[in-house]
Homo-oligomer: A and B are copies of this chain.
Amino acid sequence: MPELRRDPVLGRWNIMAEQRAARPSDLKHEPVSPRGGFCPFDAGHEDKTPPEILAYRETGTQPDGPGWRVRVVPNKFPALHAEGELNKKAVGLYDSMQGVGAHEVIIETPEHVVSPTALSDEHFAEVITAYRQRLNDLMRDPRFRFGIVFKNVGTAAGASLEHTHSQLIVTPIVPNVISRELRGALEYYNFRGRCLFCDIVRQERDEGARVVLDDPDFLVFEPFAARFPFETWVIPTQHDSQFERISSHQIRRLAHVLLQTLRRLETALDRPAYNYIVHSAPFSVHDAEVFRGVLGPPPIAEGDGLQHYHWHIEIIPRLTQVAGFEWGTGLYINPVPPETSARHLRQAVV
């Protein structure tokens, strides 16, 4: 069973998941993509994964057999386990709990395709629909407080299989980065009475210099203080704190905009390794109340969302190594200003 442990200095949690590496010597050998080799995600290999949790399939086909278009299975080497109670405890000044959660893999196509940009808008919309459906199912479990969808492409981005897939992890705690985003956004909301992210959308559209794509439903831009070269955000122009409430219309638009953006990155950077991550508020608005003592109650929007937080997707091409300075300070040195990368992405022919 993995264990969640709290860093006593920074207050953030990390996962100790021993079974993911049998021996320390295994760590030196990163798994590589089986180019031309056996792939457990290909059609016909359904018995090489754990049984499916969800699949969008042709009528008349059987679970864990062929005929699917998008298939969701538990991760074979999960960071967190679905069974068990949290068993929170302390030893001296250290806090820990059992590593309870969910870790699923969204296999995006039965074909052995290595980039989602080979998929049609309609097909990719089904992938995003699977994200939504799984999150809406998992958030009903009272042990779970937060869910994140992400994608790793390329060995440098931590991918162990090249067949295009996404992952979903649900945690029993609100992770550090999300807590800090909620806090920063609440400080801004308290000061200005508006959503920081809505203001960013307005200012980026006005300035234009960092905009990559300006769609009525989604703005794609390079963030002003980008940590990484070609870091790119995709943000809905309509305010909502919860990704899992995305509408079917928005899903169709997001599929188109996200694939267009990834194609531009692939052209400009010659198919880089990258991660994308969906940032969304915790499942319950009450988890945004942790700063109430300092900052007052969080503003709750109609339909139970948060007025101060705004879900979005962050895309991080993995072009530079993170070195000692960045690990020690959290201050990133970015050799490509976002105005430059935005220009390259606007000019990229796809």
Binding site for B on A (CB under 8 A): 3, 5-21, 24-25, 27-28, 30, 79, 91-94, 148, 150-152, 155-159, 167, 169, 171, 173, 175-178, 180-181, 184-185, 187-188, 196-197, 199-200, 203, 206-207, 223-227, 229-230, 268-270, 272, 275-279, 294, 314, 316, 319-325, 327-338, 340-341, 344
Contacts and interface: CB of A to CB of B under 8 A. Distances in A.
| Consensus secondary structure, chain A interface | mixed
This chain's copy number in the assembly: 2
B8 A224 contact: yes
Interface centre among A79, A185, A268, A330 (most CB of B within 10 A): A330
Given A8-B225, A325-B148, A337-B16, A175 B24 contact: no
A158 B329 contact: no
Given A28-B272, A230-B24, A15 B340 contact: no
Given A329-B148, A332-B14, A341 B24 contact: yes
Contacts of A314: 327-328
Contacts of A148: 325, 328-329
A176 to B, nearest CB: 4
A199 B270 CA distance: 50
17 contacts: A3-B337, A7-B223, A11-B184, A12-B225, A13-B225, A14-B227, A16-B225, A16-B337, A19-B335, A21-B229, A21-B336, A24-B340, A24-B344, A150-B324, A151-B324, A275-B327, A277-B324
Contacts of A27: 229, 269, 319-320, 335-336
